[in-house]
Amino acid sequence: MTSIIGAGGHAHVVLDALLANKFNDIQIYDNNKVGLKILGFVIEDINSIEIKNAIHVAIGDNKSRYKLINEYLHQSYNLKSVKHPQSIISFFSKIEPGAMISAGAVIGPNVIINHGTIINHNAVVDHECIIGMCSHIAPSATLGGNVQIGEGGFIGAGAVVLPGVKIGNWVTVGAGSVVTKDLPDNCVVKGVPAR
């Protein structure tokens, strides 16, 4: 049994990937949408979840996802990574439990994707990158080799991070930006080059 936590837009992507992997024993939990359906699956009350189930937190907001992932890790829940079968993932990469790799994503060798991180559609994460817990690499973003991103980072759609750049915790990079230099914690940048 795989339990999806959250029933917003990102949950549709996660559910689609699970179904593409031929998983059918799936439950969706979200107390704000009990009784509604996503792709034919009825949303249930989160209080009915069983600890033995494999859990994937399908919440797009990094801070909300971070809070739940930490809670579930400390309670020894079985976090499940979801990898769409149309993603390309190097055998030499490491995908931590709770991560989501969407269709079209490319993960190079010696990459580390931490708990709860989302690698969205058509994103490219080149060799030896390290992506911190509960970060989000948005659709079609590209990370050159040896990029490091801290916890809770958000790299916007179509953004490019040049090789070797280090990005701190809780940094937001705007869509279409090009990051050419290291960025400190808790900043928001955009543009070409990103500032």
pLDDT score of 78 = 92
Average pLDDT estimate for 165-191: 99
Task: Collect contacts of 23-32 with beta carbons under 8 A, ≥24 apart.
Answer: 25/1, 26/1, 26/2, 27/1, 27/2, 27/3, 27/53, 28/3, 28/4, 29/3, 29/4, 29/5, 30/5, 30/6, 32/7
Q: How many CB atoms are closer than 10 A to CB 92?
A: 12
| Position 19 confidence tier, pLDDT thresholds 50, 70, 90 | very high
- Cα 82 to the chain's mean position, in Å? 9
Check residue 180 and give its pLDDT: 99
pTM: predicted TM-score of the whole model, two decimal places: 0.96
Mean pLDDT confidence for 62-67: 98
Q: Is the pLDDT of residue 51 over 80?
A: no
The Cα–Cα gap between 132 and 175 comes to: 19
Pick the CATH number of 2-79 from 3.40.1050.10, 3.40.50.720, 3.40.50.20, 3.30.70.20: 3.40.50.20
Instruction: Determine the pLDDT at residue 50.
Output: 77
> What's the token pair of residue 25?
């024993």
- For the stretch 75-131, pLDDT in tens is 888 999 999 999 999 999 999 999 999 999 999 999 999 999 999 999 999 999 999
